[in-house]
């Protein structure tokens, strides 16, 4: 892509000279005849470099420089000053101009100054990219988990990361789908290329197509200039299609074609672009149901889910809870914080419907609200206590159940405990069985024995 330069000068002939010379040197040039017009064009085109005359009617060069620096401190501005006005040039440099050239200037002088500025600009961008990458690494790398279920996830990720295979991540909200998607990118040969994420559920459907594939100027009302879509931005890298299950049916054939043939066509365009993009998608919808109900195309599903990876909910891997608590305490510079037995028990039996995200938010809140380094049940929110069987362990001196004075049927109690465990685990039998520390077949046997189903709640 050619670097873009905005030239602002009220002198039409000088403007043309600058434009011609810079175009000739391989740059894309926009021109404006004054400060106001220049500023408007600046907002629209976001050029990497601005060359502006100092003396102009209306908004002069100095005012323009300040306005640009306010909006975008990193944009480089070169001022054009009249011969013999060196103090004006110095003022401009003080106000943030990168450099200046004095009129009259020759072609080589102009090109040299511009080339120097653009080189500086490239170095700054490169520097920032390296910094981001470093930050990304420290951010993305840690996926905490020592449970068997997470072990299986790590193993698949390791195997598929450096392949071209499309990956579909499924799992409840907050289980780490995006974290894993980024980790796949980081472990692939594409790690130096962009990781671009798009949330298919968050973008209005009439904008989604152009977000994904881009559009050409004039494709529809409001398309005032060409737009590069996420696919193109991800060229050479990874495109993360988040909440892909929400992709409108009418867009699915176009996505399928992009995946199969590796070409995209911007909205309103006639030219196809060949791209090299690795797809990682995620959804927390029940895709089997979406396929049956035909809200999602089967052919597209199989294209996306070449490697399906299911992220287990926190309920299914309670052994990771303690590890995650430690990890997030550390992340919040609270290494010294410990959870006492009561708090640990409550946190371990809670259902965590919001999974790791909920746990992380809780730790963040506890780190702010705590009065000391020991977290007890008193520090925990009611929601957690009422969702765990140790809820009133502290108030009934360690007893889990308070029996009525007149006695109680053990069978009835068992029926209630089983039902509650199932409800607490959203009727996930594996999770409920784990919760009750019994094998799944025992749970199923009990459910049949008492006729426990989601609709037939026992009283
Ligand atoms: N195993 C893990 N180890 C450390 N942090 C985790 C883990 N899983 C999730 N997280 C953290 O929990 C938060 C939620 O994770 P993420 O955004 O990846 O979830 P998600 O599955 O994409 O959720 P949603 O479906 O709601 O978008 C993030 O801050 C993430 O860093
Ligand atoms: Mg997500």
Using most ligand atoms within 8 A of CB, pick from 147, 172, 179 the residue to mutate for ligand 1: 179
Q: Which helix (H) or strand (E) holds 81?
A: strand 76-82
> Which has the closest alpha carbon to 391: 442, 437, 350, 443?
350
Question: What residues form DSSP beta bridges with 99?
Answer: 78
Distances (CA, A) of 217 to 13, 46, 221, 222, 267: 29, 16, 9, 9, 9
User: Which pLDDT value is given to residue 388?
Assistant: 52
Q: Is 305 within a domain?
A: yes
Question: What residues form DSSP beta bridges with 170?
Answer: 283, 310
For residues 362 and 333, membership in a common domain is answered with yes
Per-residue burial over 224-253, b = 16 or more CB atoms within 10 Å of its CB, e = otherwise: eeebebbbbebbebbbbbbbbbbbeeebbe
For residues 200 and 110, membership in a common domain is answered with no
Tell me what percent of the residues of the chain surpass a pLDDT of 70. 93
Q: How many CB atoms lie within 10 A of CB 404?
A: 6
Rounded CA-CA distance 161/181 in Å is 9
* Backbone angle region of 171, left / alpha / beta, with phi > 0 → left and psi within -120 to 50 → alpha: left
For residues 224 and 105, membership in a common domain is answered with no
Residue nearest to atom 24 of ligand 1 (CA): 173
Could you give phi then psi for residue 5, rounded to 5 degrees?
Answer: -125, 135
Residue nearest to atom 18 of ligand 1 (CA): 176
Query: With contact defined as beta carbons under 8 Å apart, do 40 and 85 qualify?
Result: no
For residues 320 and 307, membership in a common domain is answered with no
**Residue 236 belongs to a domain with what CATH number?**
3.40.50.300
Give distance in angstroms: CA of 401 to centre of ligand 1. Answer: 35
Give distance in angstroms: CA of 64 to centre of ligand 2. Answer: 42
Domain boundary at 289, 312, 335, which? 312
Q: Is it the case that residue 23 has pLDDT exceeding 50?
A: yes
Q: Is it the case that residue 455 has pLDDT exceeding 80?
A: no
Averaged pLDDT, 188-192: 92
Helices (H) and strands (E) counted in the chain, each on its own, are 19, 14
Ligand having the closest approach to the CA of 154: 1
Query: With contact defined as beta carbons under 8 Å apart, do 166 and 281 qualify?
Result: yes
For residues 159 and 306, membership in a common domain is answered with yes
Helix axes of 148-161 and 177-186: crossing angle, nearest 10 degrees? 40
**Residue 424 belongs to a domain with what CATH number?**
1.10.10
Cis-peptide into 76, omega within 30 deg: no
Residue nearest to atom 16 of ligand 1 (CA): 176
Ligand having the closest approach to the CA of 170: 1
- Which residues, in sequence order, are CB contacts of 420 under 8 Å at separation 6+? none
Rounded CA-CA distance 459/448 in Å is 16
For residues 209 and 62, membership in a common domain is answered with no
Q: Dump strand ranges (E) for 146-223.
A: 167-170, 195-199
For residues 65 and 85, membership in a common domain is answered with yes
Residue nearest to atom 23 of ligand 1 (CA): 174
Task: Give the three-class secondary structure for 50.
Answer: strand
Q: Give the model's confidence band at 389: pLDDT under 50 very low, under 70 low, under 90 confident, else very high.
A: very low
Ligand having the closest approach to the CA of 147: 1
Per-residue pLDDT tens for 233-274?
Answer: 999 999 999 999 999 999 999 999 999 999 999 999 988 999
Domain boundary at 287, 312, 337, which? 312
User: Which pLDDT value is given to residue 132?
Assistant: 64
For residues 211 and 293, membership in a common domain is answered with yes
Q: Is it the case that residue 43 has pLDDT exceeding 80?
A: yes
Rounded CA-CA distance 326/328 in Å is 6
- Which residues, in sequence order, are CB contacts of 252 under 8 Å at separation 6+? 296, 297, 300
For residues 71 and 180, membership in a common domain is answered with no
Question: What residues form DSSP beta bridges with 273?
Answer: 264
Ligand 1 atom closest to 150 (CA): 1
Rounded CA-CA distance 443/449 in Å is 10
**C-alpha 163, offset from chain centre:** 22
Q: Is it the case that residue 111 has pLDDT exceeding 60?
A: yes
Q: Is 97 within a domain?
A: yes
Q: Is it the case that residue 139 has pLDDT exceeding 70?
A: no
pTM, to two decimals: 0.61
Q: Is it the case that residue 134 has pLDDT exceeding 70?
A: no
Rounded CA-CA distance 21/429 in Å is 73
**Residue 8 belongs to a domain with what CATH number?**
3.40.50.2300
Q: Dump strand ranges (E) for 296-347.
A: 307-310, 338-339
Using most ligand atoms within 8 A of CB, pick from 357, 359, 361 the residue to mutate for ligand 1: 357
Residue 347, domain extent: 315-386
Query: With contact defined as beta carbons under 8 Å apart, do 250 and 197 qualify?
Result: no
Ligand having the closest approach to the CA of 356: 1
Ligand 1 atom closest to 359 (CA): 12
User: Which pLDDT value is given to residue 224?
Assistant: 87
Ligand 1 atom closest to 145 (CA): 1
For residues 219 and 109, membership in a common domain is answered with no
Residue nearest to atom 9 of ligand 1 (CA): 176
* Backbone angle region of 84, left / alpha / beta, with phi > 0 → left and psi within -120 to 50 → alpha: left
How many domains would you assign to the chain? 4
For residues 95 and 169, membership in a common domain is answered with no
Q: What is the DSSP secondary structure assignment for residue 379, as one 8-state letter?
A: G
Q: Is it the case that residue 151 has pLDDT exceeding 70?
A: yes
Query: With contact defined as beta carbons under 8 Å apart, do 159 and 198 qualify?
Result: no
Distances (CA, A) of 160 to 149, 154, 181, 306, 329: 17, 10, 11, 10, 31
Nearest 10 degrees: Cα torsion 210, 213, 216, 218: -20
Domain boundary at 288, 312, 336, which? 312
* Backbone angle region of 183, left / alpha / beta, with phi > 0 → left and psi within -120 to 50 → alpha: alpha
Q: Which helix (H) or strand (E) holds 214?
A: none
Residue nearest to atom 15 of ligand 1 (CA): 176
User: Which pLDDT value is given to residue 155?
Assistant: 92
Q: Give the model's confidence band at 437: pLDDT under 50 very low, under 70 low, under 90 confident, else very high.
A: confident
Averaged pLDDT, 19-46: 92
Q: Give the model's confidence band at 391: pLDDT under 50 very low, under 70 low, under 90 confident, else very high.
A: very low
Using most ligand atoms within 8 A of CB, pick from 146, 172, 178 the residue to mutate for ligand 1: 178
Q: Is 143 within a domain?
A: no
Q: Is it the case that residue 458 has pLDDT exceeding 70?
A: no
Query: With contact defined as beta carbons under 8 Å apart, do 150 and 310 qualify?
Result: no
* Ligand 1 site, residue 284, Cβ cutoff 6 A: yes
Q: Is 142 within a domain?
A: no
Using most ligand atoms within 8 A of CB, pick from 176, 200, 242 the residue to mutate for ligand 1: 176
Q: Is 136 within a domain?
A: no
For the ranges 262-266, 407-411, 455-459, which has the lowest average pLDDT?
A: 455-459
* Ligand 1 site, residue 357, Cβ cutoff 6 A: yes
Give distance in angstroms: CA of 284 to centre of ligand 2. Answer: 9
* Ligand 1 site, residue 182, Cβ cutoff 6 A: no
User: Which pLDDT value is given to residue 2?
Assistant: 85
For residues 346 and 439, membership in a common domain is answered with no
Question: What residues form DSSP beta bridges with 32?
Answer: 8
Query: With contact defined as beta carbons under 8 Å apart, do 171 and 316 qualify?
Result: no
Ligand 1 atom closest to 180 (CA): 18
Averaged pLDDT, 370-393: 76
Q: Is 392 within a domain?
A: no
Q: Give the model's confidence band at 387: pLDDT under 50 very low, under 70 low, under 90 confident, else very high.
A: low
Q: Is 226 within a domain?
A: yes
Ligand having the closest approach to the CA of 284: 1
Q: Is it the case that residue 398 has pLDDT exceeding 60?
A: no
Query: With contact defined as beta carbons under 8 Å apart, do 185 and 280 qualify?
Result: yes
Q: Is 395 within a domain?
A: no
Q: Is it the case that residue 66 has pLDDT exceeding 70?
A: yes
């Amino acid at each position: 892509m050619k670097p873009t330069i905005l030239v602002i000068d009220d002198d039409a002939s000088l403007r043309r000279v600058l434009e011609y010379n810079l175009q000739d040197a391989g740059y894309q040039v926009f021109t404006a005849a004054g400060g106001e017009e220049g500023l408007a064009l600046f907002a629209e085109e976001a050029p990497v470099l601005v060359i502006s005359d100092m003396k102009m009617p209306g908004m002069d060069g100095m005012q323009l420089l300040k306005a640009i620096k306010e909006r975008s401190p990193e944009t480089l501005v070169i001022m054009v000053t009249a011969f013999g006005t060196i103090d004006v040039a110095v003022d401009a440099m003080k106000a943030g101009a990168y450099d200046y050239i004095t009129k009259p200037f020759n072609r080589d002088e102009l090109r040299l100054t511009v080339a120097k500025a653009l080189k500086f600009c490239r170095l700054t961008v490169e520097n920032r990219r390296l910094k981001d990458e470093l930050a990304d690494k420290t951010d993305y790398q840690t996926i905490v988990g020592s449970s068997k279920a997470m072990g299986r996830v790590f193993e698949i990720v390791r195997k598929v990361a450096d392949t071209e295979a499309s990956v579909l991540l499924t799992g409840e909200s907050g289980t780490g789908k995006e974290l894993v998607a980024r980790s796949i990118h980081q472990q692939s040969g594409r790690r130096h290329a962009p990781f671009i994420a798009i949330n298919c559920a968050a973008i209005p459907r009439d904008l989604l197509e152009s977000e994904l594939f881009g559009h050409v100027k004039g494709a529809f009302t409001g398309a005032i200039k060409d737009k590069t879509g996420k696919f193109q931005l991800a060229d050479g890298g990874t495109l993360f299609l988040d909440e892909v299950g929400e992709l409108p049916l009418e867009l699915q054939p176009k996505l399928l074609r992009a995946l199969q043939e590796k070409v995209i066509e911007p909205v309103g365009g006639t030219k196809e672009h060949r791209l090299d993009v690795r797809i990682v998608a995620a959804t927390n919808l029940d895709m089997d149901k979406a396929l049956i109900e035909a809200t999602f195309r089967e052919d597209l599903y199989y294209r996306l889910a070449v490697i399906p990876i299911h992220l287990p909910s926190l309920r299914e891997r309670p052994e990771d809870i303690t590890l995650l608590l430690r990890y997030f305490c550390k992340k919040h510079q609270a290494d010294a914080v410990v959870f006492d037995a009561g708090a640990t028990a409550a946190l371990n039996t809670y259902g965590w419907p919001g999974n790791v995200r909920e746990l992380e938010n809780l730790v963040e809140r506890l780190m702010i609200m705590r009065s000391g380094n020991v977290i007890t049940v008193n520090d925990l929110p009611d929601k957690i206590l009422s969702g765990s069987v140790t809820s009133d362990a502290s108030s009934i001196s360690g007893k889990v159940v308070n029996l009525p004075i007149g006695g109680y049927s053990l069978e009835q109690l068992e029926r209630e405990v089983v039902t509650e465990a199932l409800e607490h685990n959203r009727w996930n039998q594996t999770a409920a069985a784990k919760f009750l520390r019994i094998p799944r077949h025992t749970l199923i046997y009990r459910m049949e024995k008492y006729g426990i189903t989601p609709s037939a709640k026992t009283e």
